[in-house]
Amino acid sequence: MACPLPRTHAHAPPKRRHSAVLSVSCALLLACWCACTSAARADAPFRTEPYLLDPQPQQMTLLFELASARAAEVTLRGPEGERTLHSGATKHHLLRLRGLQPDSDYRYSVQVDGAPAREGRFHTPRAHERTDARVCLYGDSRSGEDVHREVVAALRRAHAEAPIEAVVHLGDFAARGGDPSEWVEPFVSVVPLAREVGYLPVLGNHELIPDGTGRRHYQRFFGRAMGPEAYYVRRLGPLHLLVLDTNTEWPADRTQIEWARAQLRGLREAHPEDFILVFAHHPMFSSSLHEDHGPLRDALAGAVREHADLVFGGHDHTYERGTVDGLHYVVSGGGGSPLYGLNHHRQGQLAYLPEHHVVCLDARDGELQLSALRPDGSAMETCRFRRGGAFVCADGSPRGVIGGVSPARFWLTSWLLWKRMGPALALIALFVWGVRRQLDRRRARRASLPPR
């Protein structure tokens, strides 16, 4: 009887051979990916690129966020020479660049662990004792980053034509502020401008979504640079900017309300010829979806009307301008979020244009010019006024352009209707379809029965 041949492992079967080759290939690819990722992290430690906040004649605030806690070195070059600032090991860096000269050019370089330096430049605002200033603003960029980038590009062009001293963001910078990842992409959009021009932030309601925990992220990226509260006052020449936090319990927030009244009264007494501008995320007056913010209007409209010149709001994704009992107001929520066409055509409304836009303010010799610009740079409208006077617009009419749609038409055609009612309508349609199908089956069964 022949003995069986011994098994050999010198040559694996084809299937095993292929599996081994595939395993080795996958391991090599994974190793290469990990090595490349590690190298990329080493070369690009920034989670948020350097950006500027709180521009003042003798101070600027520089912030950036790293992927991990590391030390950083900032080199600042200006009229007084070069100096180096050190920031200890942390993920969230904030450096106050103090002792600057007004109306001067500065360049800065941020170095982290030998990675390629991040560089930027800025021009400090001029000293306060002057009669001209330029500030731009927009709000509600939220998750509309394609439009947001176009808005930022429009502001960069405007800055190249005439230097902007500050950009006010009217809130809803992030779509869901409680999610840390929601803060990354908006900064990718703003950094091309914010590395050169300082922003002044306003706290929006979406920064607090879903449960209010987003306030700490707002504090991390914006608030700690501005002070202990989300309301503050800044001055740029003849413009006094009073920023409010309308996300607290109004009118129960007596501390903020009394602070605002005292600030308005004191600013007007000290600067009778200057412009006082009030900024809040929720609009004091609005003809669109959310309408007036009643608690803000009831608590401060009297003081604002007596002492201020113009009140700005966002929250409604449109552009609106008007005058209510002598108080000028503007709604500017066209920074990128889906637009609201709804227009209630309120009394005192002078213009309503549901378009993405920015607004630039130019103060000069006792006159304030307001220019609403589309992302492509074309003008929606250009108006001006003097303290206590009416709007005078470039088209020769103080009423400008009235747009928007009626409430009935808006709700019939709005994406908001389908967003809010879509699931319920789908369930109703499914129920109706199910009932009809059961009835059809019963009819079919009856039709198939033999006649009695």
Task: Give the per-residue pLDDT at 436.
Answer: 86
In a domain, 439, yes or no: no
Domain of 78? 43-126
pLDDT tens profile 39-72? 444 456 999 999 999 999 999 999 999 999 999 9
- Residue pair 323/342 in contact by the 8 Å Cβ criterion: no
Q: In terms of DSSP bridges, do strands 166-169 and 118-123 run parallel, antiparallel, or are they unpaired?
A: unpaired
In a domain, 416, yes or no: yes
In a domain, 78, yes or no: yes
Interatomic CA distance for residues 424 and 47, integer angstroms: 40
Interatomic CA distance for residues 317 and 187, integer angstroms: 20
Task: Give the per-residue pLDDT at 428.
Answer: 86
pLDDT tens profile 260-298? 999 999 999 999 999 999 999 999 999 999 999 999 999
Q: How far apart are the first and last CA of the chain?
A: 83
pLDDT tens profile 400-413? 567 776 665 555 55
Higher pLDDT, 204 or 40: 204
Are residues 186 and 267 located together in one domain of the fold?
A: yes
Interatomic CA distance for residues 40 and 367, integer angstroms: 52
In a domain, 4, yes or no: no
Which element (helix H / strand E) includes 199?
strand 199-201
The stretch 350-376 carries a mean pLDDT of 96
The stretch 221-246 carries a mean pLDDT of 96
Interatomic CA distance for residues 240 and 267, integer angstroms: 8
Query: Cβ–Cβ contacts within 10 Å for residue 270, how many?
Result: 9
Q: How many CA atoms lie within 13 A of 37 on its CB side?
A: 7
Are residues 155 and 66 located together in one domain of the fold?
A: no
The stretch 75-88 carries a mean pLDDT of 97
Task: Give the per-residue pLDDT at 94.
Answer: 98
Residue where a domain stops, chosen among 107, 126, 145: 126
Are residues 267 and 213 located together in one domain of the fold?
A: yes
Interatomic CA distance for residues 253 and 255, integer angstroms: 6
Are residues 149 and 106 located together in one domain of the fold?
A: no
**Best mean pLDDT range from 10-19, 113-122, 306-315:** 306-315
Which element (helix H / strand E) includes 30?
helix 14-43
Tell me the pLDDT of the chain averaged across its residues: 88
Q: How many residues does the chain have?
A: 452
- Residue pair 50/118 in contact by the 8 Å Cβ criterion: yes
In a domain, 436, yes or no: no
In a domain, 9, yes or no: no
**In the 8-state DSSP scheme, what is residue 396?**
S
CATH of the domain at 378: 3.60.21.10
The stretch 217-225 carries a mean pLDDT of 94
Query: Cβ–Cβ contacts within 10 Å for residue 53, how many?
Result: 22
Residue where a domain stops, chosen among 86, 109, 126: 126
Asked whether the predicted pLDDT for residue 36 surpasses 50, the reply is no
Are residues 266 and 338 located together in one domain of the fold?
A: yes
Are residues 380 and 308 located together in one domain of the fold?
A: yes
Are residues 150 and 62 located together in one domain of the fold?
A: no
Of 132, 119, 137, the C-alpha closest to 196 is 119
Task: Give the per-residue pLDDT at 25.
Answer: 52
- Please enumerate in sequence order all residues whose Cβ is within 8 A of that of 300, keeping only pairs 6 or more positions apart, or say none: 244, 257, 260, 261, 278, 284
* 251 upstream amide cis, omega within 30 of 0: yes
Asked whether the predicted pLDDT for residue 213 surpasses 90, the reply is no
Are residues 71 and 194 located together in one domain of the fold?
A: no
Split at pLDDT 50, 70, 90, the class of 361 is very high
Higher pLDDT, 6 or 437: 437
Are residues 152 and 197 located together in one domain of the fold?
A: yes
Span of 25-34, 156-165, 201-210, 236-245 with lowest mean pLDDT: 25-34
Are residues 47 and 154 located together in one domain of the fold?
A: no
Task: Give the per-residue pLDDT at 199.
Answer: 98
Are residues 147 and 216 located together in one domain of the fold?
A: yes
Task: Give the per-residue pLDDT at 37.
Answer: 44
**CA gyration radius for the chain?**
29
Task: Give the per-residue pLDDT at 427.
Answer: 83
Split at pLDDT 50, 70, 90, the class of 144 is confident
In a domain, 442, yes or no: no
pLDDT tens profile 307-334? 999 999 999 999 999 999 999 999 999 9
Are residues 283 and 423 located together in one domain of the fold?
A: yes
The stretch 376-403 carries a mean pLDDT of 84
Q: What six digits make up the tokens of 238?
A: 């003849």
Q: What six digits make up the tokens of 151?
A: 């808005």
In a domain, 343, yes or no: yes
Query: Cβ–Cβ contacts within 10 Å for residue 10, how many?
Result: 4
CATH of the domain at 92: 2.60.40.10
Query: Domain tally for the chain?
Result: 2
- Residue pair 262/294 in contact by the 8 Å Cβ criterion: no
pLDDT tens profile 145-155? 899 999 999 99
pLDDT tens profile 298-310? 999 999 999 999 9
Task: Give the per-residue pLDDT at 6.
Answer: 46
**Best mean pLDDT range from 122-126, 142-146, 424-428:** 122-126
Query: Cβ–Cβ contacts within 10 Å for residue 59, how many?
Result: 15
